[in-house]
Amino acid sequence: MTIHPILRYPDPRLAAPCHLVEVFDEELKSLVQDLLETMKAAPGVGITAAHIGISKRVSVIALDPGEPVHIHINPQILWSSTDRQRFIEGSVAMPGMTEEVDRPAKIRFRYQGLDGVAQEAEADGFLATCIQHEVDQLDGVFWLKRLSRLKRDRLIRKWEKSAR
């Protein structure tokens, strides 16, 4: 297991859509373990292969230490509720920067497990927000795009100032 360096905003690779995973092998399992270790070290609750510069549709989410890790290969949102919810979001690619984001409260999504078997599931609450956040990243949509222009510009200025 390896802890990888995480790309930092505004690295253009964070804005590129990731490629579908077609091979489900030991290399993929190793990538998932590396993502988990990298996420824990960051620290964060979610990470994608894109965050470490690998253009594959792989995400890992670990909300609580005692709960199972959510591993999603080729995730895709199928449906989202009209009910909305707000949670504070951030990114391992922009440590220390957070803002409240409004998203659908419940989703249905399709993904593959490490064995390549397709599955469908529903999620609500914070898990639904995390899945949407990571699927956005895999689609090349950095979380800042979900903010109003005013909030986004303010956060970017704060980020640029902290980077100096």
Q: What's this model's pTM, rounded to 2 decimal places?
A: 0.97
- Checking if the pLDDT of 154 tops 90, the result is yes
- Give the pLDDT confidence score for residue 163 in this predicted structure: 81
For residue 99, give every residue at least 6 positions away whose Cβ sits within 8 Å of its Cβ, in sequence order, or none: 88, 89, 90, 147, 151, 155
Annotated domain spans of the chain: 12-163
Query: What's the CA gap between 105 and 154, in Å, rounded?
Result: 26
Which residues does the annotation mark as catalytic? 134
Query: What's the CA gap between 144 and 115, in Å, rounded?
Result: 33
- Give the pLDDT confidence score for residue 68 in this predicted structure: 92
Query: What's the CA gap between 152 and 164, in Å, rounded?
Result: 19
Mean pLDDT lowest among 21-30, 59-68, 121-130: 59-68
For domain 12-163, give its CATH number from 1.10.3720.10, 3.90.45.10, 3.60.70.12, 1.10.1490.10: 3.90.45.10
Share of the chain above pLDDT 90, in %: 96
Q: Tell me: the pLDDT tens digits for 74-90?
A: 999 999 999 999 999 99
- Mean pLDDT, the chain, rounded, equals 97
